[in-house]
Amino acid sequence: MITGSIVALATPMKVNGDIDWEALRRLVNFHLENGTDAIVAAGTTGEPTTMSFAEHFDVIRAVVEEVGGRIPVIAGTGANATSEAVELARYAGEVGADYCLSVCPYYNKPTQDGLYLHFKAVAEGSKLPVILYNVPGRTCSDLYNETVLRLAEVDNIIGLKDATGNLERAEDLIARLEGSGFMLYSGDDGTACDFMLMGGHGDISVTANVAPQAMHELCAAAVAGDSDRAHQINTRLMPLHTNLGIEANPIPVKWSLHRMGLVEPGIRLPMTWLSEKYHSTINEALQLAGVIDD
């Protein structure tokens, strides 16, 4: 099972919106060189909802090929149609991904029974271990703890990315799933340190896009229970945790990667480039984290 810092990888794009395959390979190697423990390809930060099926498949395949088995690859395979989510998960397995990350169906607002049956179908239709992904702020669909506990008993469902930022809910799940082997990951960088110190297994992180080494060290310390070391690193990274959400993800993180010289200024509508009024705020956060010099 994966523990530690798992980057929710941004998908580099050219100014015209085309996927920049060369830059994607560079980003993968940037993470391999800086201690990232696993990569999510075509998750929310990777803009899959703006991609065609073919592009979505190609991004997953390209990341798997570039990683070459050196660290685990988690394929983002969520969709609001169950049949599409199953198809994406099957494909990810065919090209060699190690896990799939399946988000709560967005927009259609299913019941808890609907969520249970949706994820059960994904698990049954894929050979890959499935990590559930709950991010109600984006999906308007909230996977309740009781439903997570039901799903934890389904073969092939092995974990949860909890992006609610609600530590009380996380503490309840951690306690009730202790010893089960079910993996619990934070999906909220601002609360991830405390989530892991309570017993969580890692962080599926936006911040790790721009500060991979620091996030690896933070997660290693927190998972090991080294509270002093974890909080020391987390304090330095907190301006990034906070301000990479100053506009909708992945707008600020893609601007940051461009500022670091790693990608072109490319993003797809309806996402737009970071508003100029926020440039200095993100720049300062990158400086405080030691990511850039000036």
**45 has binding-site annotation:** yes
Q: Rounded distance, CA 37 to CA 45, Å?
A: 17
Counting Cβ atoms within 10 Å, is residue 24 exposed (0-12), middle (13-18) or buried (19+)?
buried
DSSP per-residue letters across 219-247: HHHHHTT-HHHHHHHHHHHHHHHHHTTSS
Q: Which one of the listed residues 133, 185, 277, 278 is annotated catalytic?
A: 133
CA distance to 69, 202, 203, per residue, from 220 (Å): 21, 8, 10
Q: Rounded distance, CA 169 to CA 165, Å?
A: 9
* Structural contact between residues 70 and 32, judged by C-beta atoms closer than 8 angstroms: yes
Is 144 a residue of the active site? Answer: no
Q: Rounded distance, CA 47 to CA 250, Å?
A: 8
> Whose CA is closest to 215, among 65, 70, 9?
9
- Residue type (1 letter), 116: Y
Is 109 a residue of the active site? Answer: no
* Structural contact between residues 38 and 49, judged by C-beta atoms closer than 8 angstroms: no
Total Cβ atoms within 10 A of residue 84: 15
> For the chain, how far is it from start to end, CA to CA, in angstroms?
39
Q: Which one of the listed residues 116, 161, 185, 254 is annotated catalytic?
A: 161
The position carrying tokens 């059960």 is 120
Q: Rounded distance, CA 24 to CA 21, Å?
A: 5
CA distance to 35, 171, 190, per residue, from 176 (Å): 31, 9, 23
* Structural contact between residues 169 and 193, judged by C-beta atoms closer than 8 angstroms: no
Just list the catalytic residues.
133, 161
Residue list, annotated binding site for pyruvate: 45, 204
